């Protein structure tokens, strides 16, 4: 029995050592470190609040900040990232082929995408749902009044299937008017080529800000689907997946424990809360376990902010979108955002 115990202990120690060593390797992670930046796939259409680029080539938005946070985790530098604009049709091929390292492009986590495409979804940075926008002049108050309507929809998205399911379930007919990009779809909608525009509600709010007269359009109350949006990497690239996953969790955990870009230095120096000390790298070896510097999460919060700061800066009530937190609030306030424990 004693010999067996020794063998088991040795085997466990070897396995532990192997696991610890594997946290420092991985094809994408190694390639990212070698080239010195993260290649992040983002929305090509310019989605206000989520991903937009100005005339000088400067990117900003909710998804952009997550890309930058990943760069901070690895390199300690929010600018160690390059952006690849992708249409809905292009996005998965770009990730599968290695053109990009991570996809952060308002992409819905579904069973098919998670299993059949060779991809891994690593969390939800925005809980969304599909809705409908119509010109106020139509006098429509509910999506249940849309029988026979023509509907503008982007191809290559879950939106098409949800649209078909909704009309079928409610015994209504519709005429799909299909476009590959929002750049094609929006002028058509405004020109009256279709009665309705459908996409995720976040996209509807973002799109409406582009219109010359936003108040001329109404977003109907129905939400017809679950659209959990989050970052995606290639399947099986576990070490890189851990970096992306825990970058998002660090931002959520920081908000829950009141750690902000403004107070992170004071809390790192003086907090006695064990969770905060682990999060900020004062205790434990979580950076080492991820193959990252010990202060990786501290740097994310210092340079990018916690989840709430990023949300309010890009999407909140003081922005043109004026999106309430809703499901994207913390679990402690009735929302769904929840980090796995830092321990």
The string of pLDDT tens digits covering residues 204-232 is 998 888 888 998 999 998 999 999 999 99
Asked if the structure places residue 200 within a domain, the reply is yes
Asked if the structure places residue 338 within a domain, the reply is no
Whether residues 175 and 209 share a domain: the answer is yes
Report which of residues 268 and 47 the model is more confident about: 268
Residue corresponding to tokens 């519709």: 174
- Cβ atoms of 67 and 83 within 8 Å: the answer is yes
Whether residues 64 and 213 share a domain: the answer is no
Whether residues 105 and 55 share a domain: the answer is yes
Minimal CA–CA distance to 43: which of 119, 154, 127, 123?
154
Tell me what pLDDT residue 24 has: 55
For the stretch 162-179, pLDDT in tens is: 999 999 999 999 999 999
Element (H, E) at 228: strand 227-229
Asked if the structure places residue 6 within a domain, the reply is no
Domain final residue, candidates 185, 209, 225: 225
Element (H, E) at 24: none
Assigned token pair, 50: 């989520």
Tell me what pLDDT residue 9 has: 41
The partner residues of 150 in beta bridges, in order of sequence, read 175
Return d(Cα 90, Cα 255) in angstroms, integer: 34
Confidence of residue 25 (pLDDT cuts 50, 70, 90): low
CATH assignment at residue 113 = 3.40.190.10
Return d(Cα 73, Cα 260) in angstroms, integer: 16
Asked if the structure places residue 314 within a domain, the reply is yes
What is the number of structural domains in the chain? Answer: 2
For the stretch 259-293, pLDDT in tens is: 999 999 999 999 999 999 999 999 999 999 999 99
Asked if the structure places residue 16 within a domain, the reply is no
Residue corresponding to tokens 């809980």: 127
Whether residues 220 and 272 share a domain: the answer is no
The partner residues of 51 in beta bridges, in order of sequence, read 47
Domain final residue, candidates 197, 225, 253: 225
Whether residues 105 and 91 share a domain: the answer is yes
Minimal CA–CA distance to 177: which of 149, 201, 205?
149
Assigned token pair, 66: 């997550």
Report which of residues 26 and 308 the model is more confident about: 308
Whether residues 96 and 120 share a domain: the answer is yes
At residue 244, the 3 state secondary structure works out as: helix
The whole-chain average pLDDT of the chain stands at: 91
Whether residues 273 and 329 share a domain: the answer is yes
Domain final residue, candidates 191, 225, 259: 225
Whether residues 53 and 106 share a domain: the answer is yes
Tell me what pLDDT residue 209 has: 87
Assigned token pair, 68: 């930058």
Asked if the structure places residue 26 within a domain, the reply is yes
Domain that holds residue 326: 22-127+229-333
Burial category of 337 from C-beta neighbours within 10 Å (exposed 0-12, middle 13-18, buried 19 and up): buried
Return d(Cα 160, Cα 158) in angstroms, integer: 5
Asked if the structure places residue 309 within a domain, the reply is yes
């Amino acid at each position: 029995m004693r010999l067996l115990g020794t063998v088991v202990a040795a085997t466990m120690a070897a396995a532990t050592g192997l696991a610890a060593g594997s946290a420092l390797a991985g094809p994408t992670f190694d390639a990212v470190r070698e080239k010195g930046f993260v290649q992040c796939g983002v929305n090509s259409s310019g989605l206000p609040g989520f991903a937009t680029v100005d005339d000088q080539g400067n990117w900003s938005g909710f998804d952009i900040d997550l890309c930058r946070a990943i760069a901070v985790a690895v390199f300690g530098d929010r600018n160690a990232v390059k952006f690849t604009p992708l249409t809905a049709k292009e996005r998965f091929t770009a990730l599968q082929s290695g053109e990009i390292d991570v996809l952060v492009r308002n992409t819905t986590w579904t069973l098919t995408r998670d299993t059949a495409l060779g991809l891994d979804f690593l969390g939800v940075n925005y809980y969304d749902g599909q809705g409908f926008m119509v010109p106020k002049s139509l006098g429509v108050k509910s999506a249940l009044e849309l029988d026979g309507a023509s509907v503008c929809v982007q191809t290559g998205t879950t939106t098409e299937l949800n649209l078909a399911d909704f009309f079928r379930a409610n015994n209504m007919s519709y005429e799909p008017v299909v476009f590959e990009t929002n750049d094609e779809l929006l002028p058509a909608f405004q020109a009256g080529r279709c009665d309705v525009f459908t996409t995720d509600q976040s996209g509807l709010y973002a799109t409406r800000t582009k219109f010359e007269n936003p108040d001329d359009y109404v977003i109907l109350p129905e939400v017809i689907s679950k659209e959990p949006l989050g970052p995606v990497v290639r399947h099986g690239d576990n070490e890189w997946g851990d970096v992306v996953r825990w970058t998002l969790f660090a931002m959520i955990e920081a908000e829950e424990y009141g750690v902000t870009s403004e107070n992170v230095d004071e809390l790192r120096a003086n907090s006695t809360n064990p969770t905060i000390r682990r999060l900020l790298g004062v205790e434990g070896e979580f950076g080492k376990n991820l193959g990252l510097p010990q202060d990786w999460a501290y740097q994310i919060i210092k340079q990018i902010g916690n989840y709430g700061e990023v949300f309010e800066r890009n999407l909140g009530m003081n922005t043109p979108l004026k999106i309430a937190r809703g499901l994207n609030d913390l679990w402690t306030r009735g929302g769904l955002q929840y980090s796995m424990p830092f321990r």
